[in-house]
Structure 1
């Protein structure tokens, strides 16, 4: 058995059945070995597309995403996506070919492990033929347990060497997250015992913990409103006292209610400036509790009165049990009036002046129409840019796996790859890539990837022929913005050239082909939505106001 085969078999034996990448001479045999071991391979057109596919696959499917690249430039091409995955704590394994340690002169030679560590990923290495299987198993385990990207550097002089047929791989026990300290739970219960208007804000940590039932149980006991960060969007879908995303994407009703909170309970949410509207969302006198597995995250970005280190689900249950022991049960926000108001005042119910014209559709009207047409079982993956709030605010998702938000690094161009990965992970759901025209053009090669694999996904492009965030930020200040505007791109024509379907949308009725396509879903459908470039997103205006 060769080292490449040992790597492939080790990964396949441990549940890796899908991986993404771009094949070069350095990773050629590893790709073939993992594929021969039973894993399906999806070939991207660019390494950054490949790693974002693995990222989206992990977020939507709940598994470790696996990607492979050539050494040197193949690895560096993937760095933006790797940084996003690191900042998001995505469990991901990058199998990176690498130059041999003893190589002094090679065009491909860089310190890949050092670069990976600088970006926040975990550098690992195949140390030799006899340790190849154990090194691979360790790297995969670290990605799963530590929930971070791991870069497994594989020197190209090793892959063809003979490896042990019976490699020794350590047996690692299953691990449980630490339980919160009793004293911390008591201090939280003390606050909740005297509060009147508690709010629970759940982030991605709560979603990863699967804490929906425990948080709803706690919310019911103390009468709490339920909200999420953007990263936790979908966790409380369908619950009667859930007000959606807190922060810049919050609806007017959510802002109104959250501004009355006297206790804020953050579970697996960092309470960053986006989630808290630069510290203005909650009253200054509200007491703040933060629960997180990472003790360094507690109080790092927002004032915290009580910190709890522990798993979100375990902490929520422990707090509820302590309150039950004390006989505490409150109405709080959970009145009949609030329950009636929440479904009446979603974003789509808020009045606005439709700014559609003969040539352009209003992005809000577009988003509402799409929400009505798409099936409930969907995965929405966004890119970054001026349009970003519309899919988050108007497109419903069934659960947190249904919302892929690659904005931890706030890079444009990652949404399409993430959506392709999500489509592969959950073919039972309609994957929607919500992109701006700038991000779509950055990742344009992956349109061919989606078409080549005949993925039944929607690629929705909010096309304002500009980098809209810069136009709407600097234009009102009197700065020239001509360098951020571009001639209109015919994405429908590009879609057809790549083997997908394309439709141009300037008014709601232009979406009619979507209905027929949903009955087949035999290839991607690109919706080139010519949105009115004069419409300034309210969420971005709020963000600009803070600067």
Structure 2
């Protein structure tokens, strides 16, 4: 067995998601064996950046690890944006990258690949020798899982053809064992909770496995429930749910959060989005719980920081609250049981001819699009309202691609999500600038893979954020305006179906058109907006 054969077999037997990639001379035989000899699920991307984004989307919806592969040199440099996005979103994935032969110093694609990888914030590992190849790949995978970020495995092309023995290597990363909290931190936390009159229980991505324990705790202390963006809809169906905690909170939720005097945050990093630039941390006591020490105090200093599993800590809090016979705060008795997480109905504005109103259309799309969906959101000026308005069944049904502030990353992530979870419709929401900048590159991949994917393009014919800045400063926004091609025509040329929504009548026709669509190929909805009439409130 050659090294590339051993790596292919290990991936086929270990990877919990498909392998995404672009083949070249350093990885082509590995991919071929992975797919045809060992029966692995492989998706061929159109671009290397897209392949890494696909692995990221797959990891987000599976809760596992994504896998991608590219060849060397420019193939790796093309991945830097996607790697940085995965780093900033704490998404575990492994990128198997080729590397030119060490002796081939004049190879056009020779580059310091370690420096490239480290510049993105990703981890770096190297395939050292044929005898260590499987251990090297397993170590890269363990690191990705433990560090919750991408790790790149450099594979020198000459080593891939050396003989290797099959020696199974484990990539298992043990979780924190169940534990019972004791000591000063527990006493301090219970004291803060006992004194609170308006506590709030917040859950982040690191706490999505503790839903029931957090609901029991919240009910015991009369606290409403909130989530970060990455844990969206975790508490769907429960009472006193505030929805997203932070910059996209509903007005009703923001009013309740303004009264909070004690925030109990489980598995949340407390970044500036979640805390509304720190506004939702002022004048309140903070208890932060995380299952990794490096996540405690990263973005905010808590009064009590606790290392432990969310479910265990919540259960321990419940036990001692009962033992001490501490009464509930009574906070939720002043709040309605339902509706705090629902945004108020939008007020329609006249956008002029050939366009529709943004907010009312967004709310109608939430009702029209399939309820059992995986939602993928790209970046753009429309995204903040989309985060607030578009619902998802649960936290593993929401993929975000704005952690690095780049537009155009959504299509790759959507393909990864759709290829991993083929049991439901994937819905990608993006802007026209993002669609042209990066998403169009992978559009045909979605068609080729026969994915059930709906792409909603909010098309204002502009780079919206820049358009706003020019207008606010009384400057001509012309350089931020674009005369794009007809997206519906482009989509059909790629083999997809499409419909333009540019009037209330065309929006009214959308439900029937979506119901009759061919679910084995993408469907694009071109939502025409007036760049001067894209109201956010």
TM-score bracket for the superposition, by shorter chain length: over 0.9
Q: Which runs of 5+ in 1 are unaligned?
A: 540-547
1:79-132 deviation line (CA, Å, top 9, x unaligned): 100111111121101010112334422221222223222322121111111211
Separation in 2, partners of 1:84, 1:153 = 20
Distance 1:70 1:419 in 2: 23
C-alpha distance 71-265 of structure 1, shift in aligned 2 (>3 A): same
The whole-number CA distance in structure 2 between the counterparts of 1:42 and 1:341 is 41
Partner of 2:219: 220
State the superposition RMSD in angstroms: 2.1
Q: Which position in structure 1 is the counterpart of 2:70?
A: 69
Q: CA deviation digits over 1:387-435, x for unaligned, max 9?
A: 1023211111010011111222111111111111111111112111100
Q: How many residues in Structure 1 have an aligned counterpart in Structure 2?
A: 532
2:369 to 374, 379, 383: 374
Q: Distance in 1 between matches of 2:377 and 2:367?
A: 18
User: Which is further off, 46-55 or 239-248?
Assistant: 239-248
Distance 1:39 1:341, change over 3 A: closer
SS in 2 for 1:124: strand
1:56-76: CA deviation from partner (whole Å, max 9, x where unpaired) = 011012221111111010011
- The 3 A distance-change label for structure 1 pair 168 and 60 is closer
After superposition, the C-alpha distances for 1:8-39 in whole angstroms (9 at most, x for unaligned) are: 11122224451111111121111112112111
**Aligned counterparts of 1:74 and 1:63: Cα–Cα separation in 2:** 25
Distance in 1, Cα, partners of 2:15 & 2:27: 20
| Residue 463 of structure 2: aligned partner | 467
Segments of structure 2 that go 5 or more residues without pairing to the other structure are: none
Point out the more displaced range, 321-330 or 444-453: 321-330
Contact 1:406 1:418 in 2 (8 A): yes
Does structure 1 retain, via aligned residues, the 8 Å contact 2:348–2:357? no
Q: 2:355 & 2:34 partners in 1: Cα distance?
A: 48
Question: Where do 1:167-186 residues align within 5 Å?
Answer: 167=167, 169=169, 174-176=174-176, 179=179, 181-182=181-182, 183-186=184-187
Q: Equivalent residue for 1:310?
A: 308
The answer (yes or no) to whether the contact 1:180–1:311 under 8 Å persists in 2 is no
Q: How far has the Cα of 1:459 moved from its partner?
A: 0.4
Contact 1:91 1:144 in 2 (8 A): yes
1:389 aligned partner:
384
Distance between the aligned counterparts of 2:473 and 2:244, measured in 1? 29
CA contact (8 A) 2:139 2:171 kept: no
Q: What is the SS of the residue equivalent to 2:336?
A: helix
> Aligned residue for 1:486?
482
1:251-277 per-position Cα deviation (integer Å, ceiling 9, x unaligned): 111111100001011222222222222
Q: What secondary structure does 1:211 align onto?
A: helix
TM-score of the superposed pair, with normalisation by structure 1: 0.92
Provide the rounded CA distance (Å) in 2 between the counterparts of 1:430 and 1:362. 25
Change (3 A) 1:30 1:537: farther
Shift, 1:357, TM fit: 3.3
Distance 1:281 1:147, change over 3 A: closer
Establish whether residue 107 from structure 1 lines up as the match of residue 108 from structure 2: yes
- In the TM superposition, residue 453 of structure 1 has moved relative to its aligned partner by 1.4
1:148 is matched with which residue?
149
Q: Give, in whole Å, the separation in 2 of the partners of 1:160 and 1:484.
A: 51
For structure 1, which segment, 466-475 or 418-427, has the greater mean C-alpha deviation from structure 2 after superposition? Answer: 466-475
Q: Is the 8 A contact 1:186 1:319 kept in 2?
A: no
1:89 to 1:180, Cα distance in 2 relative to 1, 3 A: farther
Aligned to 1:292: 290
Q: Which digits, 9 at most, give the CA deviation of each residue in 1:173-213, with x for residues without a partner?
A: 74435857523222111111111111122222223xx1211
> What is the TM-score when the length of structure 2 is the normalising length?
0.94
Partner SS, residue 235 of structure 2: coil
**8 A contact 1:16–1:39 mirrored in 2:** no
Q: Conserved in 1, the CA contact under 8 Å of 2:348 and 2:359?
A: no
Give CA deviations for 1:292-317 in whole Å, capped at 9, x if unaligned.
23434433323422212223233222
- What is the alpha-carbon distance in structure 1 between the residues aligned to residue 179 and residue 104 of structure 2? 48
The offset of 1:447, in angstroms, is: 0.8
Q: Out of 313, 318, 321, which is 1:320 matched to?
A: 318
Q: Is the 8 A contact 2:23 2:31 kept in 1?
A: yes
Match for 2:472 among 447, 472, 476?
A: 476
Q: Which residue of 2 aligns with 1:233?
A: 232
Shift of the 493–537 alpha-carbon distance from structure 1 to 2, 3 Å rule, reads same
State the partner residue of 1:504: 500
Cα separation, partners in 2 of 1:180 and 1:114, compared to 1, 3 Å: farther
Shift of the 461–112 alpha-carbon distance from structure 1 to 2, 3 Å rule, reads same
Equivalent pair of 1:181/1:309 in contact (CA under 8 Å): no
State the shift of 1:342 in Å.
2.6
